[in-house]
Amino acid sequence: MSASHPLPHVPADADYRFTSTPRLERQAALESNARSYPRRLPLELRRAQGIHVQDSEGRWFIDCLAGAGTLALGHNHPLVLEAMRSLLDGERPLHTLDLMTEAKDDFIRELYALLPEGFARSARIQFCGPAGTDAVEAALKLVRTATGRRQLLACHGAYHGMTQGALGLMGSHGPKRHLDGMNGGVQFLPFPHAYRCPFGLGGELGERAALNYLETLLNDPESGVLPPAALIVEPIQGEGGVNPASSTWLREVRRITREAGVPLVLDEIQSGIARSGRRFAFEHADIEPDVLVLSKAIGGSQPLAVVVYHESLDRWAPGAHAGTFRGNQLAMAAGTATLRLVREQRLELHAAAMGERLAGHLRALQRDYPQLGDVRGRGLMLGVEVVRPDGPVDRQGHPLADGVLAARLQQECLRRGLIIEVGGRHGAVLRFLPPLIVQPEQIDQIAECLATALRSVMAAA
C-alpha cells in the first residue's frame, strides 16, 4: 500500500461511534425492507484488504463475517486479483452460458483435484446460477429425476437458501411463514445437538435416538413417510447456530441412507473449501456423499455455484437445469486461483490450527463469563451461544438462549472494531467466520475485542 493508503490497523482501545451518512440514508430510504446486514452493521465500506475492511470515515475493522464465509482468502488477495486481471487483459469472454472455455476447464480440474479421490473419480458437475440456493434447487431436481420419488428429508435448524424449493427445506419459520408453493412432501428430522438436544438427552444418547428415528422412518412400512428422493444435510449447520454433526452421526447416516437406497445430499456451501479444518467437512467422518452442493468460497469472492454428484444419478435430460449466469468467467478464474492456493498451501491445516486457537480463547472467556453458554464448531466456523445464566433452564439443565444480550455484544464488538454476525435459534449465537488466511496475532486480537466487549456490556448491565 502507498503512503496514502496506510496498512490496516484496528486500535487496541478502539471505541468507534456511528452516525449516518448520505449513502446510508439513501440505502435506508430506497432499499427493500428485507435487507438484513445493514440493520445490524450500519457501515459504509470504502476499502478492504485481507481480513480488514475500512469504512467511509477511515476506520479499520476486523472482518469476521467475510461475506458469510465467501472470502476464503480475505479481501483482494493478490493472486485472486491477478487471475481476474489476466482474464480481462487477455480479452477473454466474460459471459458464456455453459460453453467451454479455458477458464472453465481450469476451474473444473482444480475443483476435482481438491475433492476426495474416490468421489472425484465417479463425479459429474453441473454449473448453476451464481447463488448456492440455485445449486440446492438443481440437486433437488437431480435426485427426484434419478429416483422417481418426490418426498425429501431435511433437518431441524437447516438453511439451504431463499428460493422456493430451498425454503421448503428450511428449519427457520420466519422467511417462509407467509408463502405458498414451496417444496411439498418435506419431512423434518431431529439434528443431533449436544447442548440443545431435541430429545433432552445430549451426547451419545441423543445421537443414537436421532439415528434410531431415521432408521425406523426409512424402514417402517407404516411410518407414514414415503420413500424419499434424498436426505439433505449440512455437516455443520451455519445459520442454524453453528451446529457441527459428529463424525459418528454422519457415518451412521451414510450407512443408513445407503442401505435404504436414499441419496445423501451434503450442503457444504458454507463449510466447504477448508473452512472446517478439512477440505470438506464430510471428510471428518471419512464418508462420501452422493451429491455435494458448493458455492461461496469456490468463486474466490465472485458469484459461483455448482453441484457435484455421482455419475449414477446423471439421468436428467439436457436443459433440465439451466441458468443464464452459469458461465461467470471472472468467478471461475478467481475460484481457480483460490482453490489452487488452498490445495497447495494446505490451508485446511492452517484453518484447523487457527480455529483451535480461537476456540481456546473463547473457552477461556467462557470460564469467566457464564453468559457464554456453549462454544462449538469446527476449524474457522465457530459459534458461541449466549445465555441467561441466572434464569430458567432447559431439560438438560442449560440456561435459555439470550438473543438480546447477543445483539448487544455484536454491537459492542462493532464499536471495538470487530465485525461478527449473530444467528441460530433466537438470534443468540455469535458467529466467527474469519478468512482462512487469518494469522495467530489476529486471532488473539479478535478474542481481545470480544473480551473488551464483554467487560463493557456486563459492567453496564
**pLDDT one-digit tens code per residue, 205-252:** 999 999 999 999 999 999 999 999 999 999 999 999 999 999 999 999
Please report whether residue 11 resides in a domain. no
Q: Look at residues 344, 370, 389 and tell me which one is the last residue of a structural domain.
A: 344
The owner of cell 424419499 is: 228
Please report whether residue 287 resides in a domain. yes
Q: Are residues 270 and 414 in the same domain?
A: no
Q: Are residues 260 and 174 in the same domain?
A: yes
Q: Where does 31-131 have alpha helices with state H?
A: 37-40, 66-69, 78-89, 102-114, 117-121
Q: Predicted confidence band at 427 (pLDDT cuts at 50, 70, 90)?
A: very high
Please report whether residue 13 resides in a domain. no
Which amino acid would we find at residue 35?
A: R
Please report whether residue 84 resides in a domain. yes
Q: Nine-digit cell at 345?
A: 498451501
Q: What is the pLDDT of residue 182?
A: 61
Q: What percentage of the chain carries pLDDT values higher than 70?
A: 98
Is the pLDDT at 402 greater than 90? The verdict is yes
- CATH code of the domain covering residue 285: 3.40.640.10
Q: What's the average model confidence in pLDDT over 51-68?
A: 96
The answer to whether residues 293 and 169 touch, using CB atoms and an 8 Å cutoff, is: no
The answer to whether residues 63 and 418 touch, using CB atoms and an 8 Å cutoff, is: no
Q: What is the pLDDT of residue 11?
A: 93
Please report whether residue 43 resides in a domain. yes
Lowest mean pLDDT of 20-29, 99-108, 291-300, 338-347, name the range.
Answer: 20-29
Is the pLDDT at 30 greater than 70? The verdict is yes
Please report whether residue 5 resides in a domain. no
- Strands, E, within 128-279: which ranges? 152-155, 186-189, 230-233, 236-237, 243-244, 264-267
Q: Are residues 39 and 54 in the same domain?
A: yes
Q: What is the pLDDT of residue 162?
A: 87
Q: Look at residues 309, 325, 344 and tell me which one is the last residue of a structural domain.
A: 344
Is the pLDDT at 183 greater than 80? The verdict is no
Q: Are residues 417 and 319 in the same domain?
A: no
Model confidence over 355-388: pLDDT tens digits?
999 999 999 999 999 999 999 999 999 999 999 9
Is the pLDDT at 4 greater than 60? The verdict is no
Model confidence over 291-340: pLDDT tens digits?
999 999 999 999 999 999 999 999 999 999 999 999 999 999 999 999 99
Q: Are residues 109 and 64 in the same domain?
A: no
Please report whether residue 112 resides in a domain. yes
Q: Are residues 289 and 317 in the same domain?
A: yes
Is the pLDDT at 120 greater than 60? The verdict is yes
Q: Are residues 226 and 269 in the same domain?
A: yes
Q: Are residues 375 and 325 in the same domain?
A: no
Q: Are residues 302 and 432 in the same domain?
A: no
Q: Predicted confidence band at 1 (pLDDT cuts at 50, 70, 90)?
A: very low
Q: What is the pLDDT of residue 3?
A: 45
Q: Are residues 156 and 63 in the same domain?
A: no
Q: What is the pLDDT of residue 16?
A: 94
Please report whether residue 258 resides in a domain. yes
- Give the orientation angle of helix 403-415 with respect to helix 440-460, to 10 degrees: 120
Model confidence over 144-182: pLDDT tens digits?
999 999 999 999 999 999 888 888 898 888 787 777 666
- CATH code of the domain covering residue 26: 3.90.1150.10
Q: What is the pLDDT of residue 174?
A: 76
Total domain count, the chain: 2
Q: Are residues 37 and 147 in the same domain?
A: no
Distances (CA, A) of 407 to 157, 300, 311, 378: 20, 30, 45, 23
Q: What is the pLDDT of residue 2?
A: 44
Q: Look at residues 325, 344, 363 and tell me which one is the last residue of a structural domain.
A: 344
Which range of residues forms the domain containing residue 224? Answer: 79-344
The owner of cell 448487544 is: 408
Q: What is the pLDDT of residue 175?
A: 80
230-233: strand order across its sheet = 123-127, 306-310, 291-294, 264-267, 230-233, 152-155, 186-189
The owner of cell 425454503 is: 167
Q: Nine-digit cell at 2?
A: 502507498
Mean pLDDT (the chain) is 94
SS3 content of the chain, % helix, strand, coil (to 5): 40, 15, 45
Is the pLDDT at 453 greater than 90? The verdict is yes
- Kindly tell me the burial class for residue 305, based on how many C-beta atoms sit within 10 Å of its own C-beta (0-12, 13-18, 19 or more): buried
Q: Are residues 30 and 171 in the same domain?
A: no
Residue 46's CB is within 10 A of a number of other CB atoms, namely: 12
